[in-house]
Amino acid sequence: MRTFNTNEMNQQFDNFFMAPVRAYTALSIDYSEKLLNAQLDANKAYVDTGIAQMRQLLSVKDAEGLRSYMEGQQKVAKDLAERVKGDADKVVSLQQDFLQKSQKLTEENVKQAQAAASKMSKTA
Question: What span, in angstroms and rounded, lies between the C-alpha atoms of 97 and 59?
Answer: 45
pLDDT at 20: 86
pLDDT at 40: 97
Best CA proximity match to 87, nearest among 31, 40, 47, 30: 40
Entry pTM? 0.75
Burial class (CB within 10 angstroms; exposed 0-12, middle 13-18, buried 19+) of 45: middle
pLDDT at 3: 64
pLDDT at 110: 86
Helices (H) and strands (E) in the chain, counts: 3, 0
pLDDT digit of tens for each residue in the chain (124 aa)?
566 667 777 777 777 778 888 999 999 999 999 999 999 999 999 999 999 999 999 999 999 999 999 999 999 999 999 999 999 999 999 999 999 999 999 998 888 878 777 776 776 5
pLDDT at 98: 96
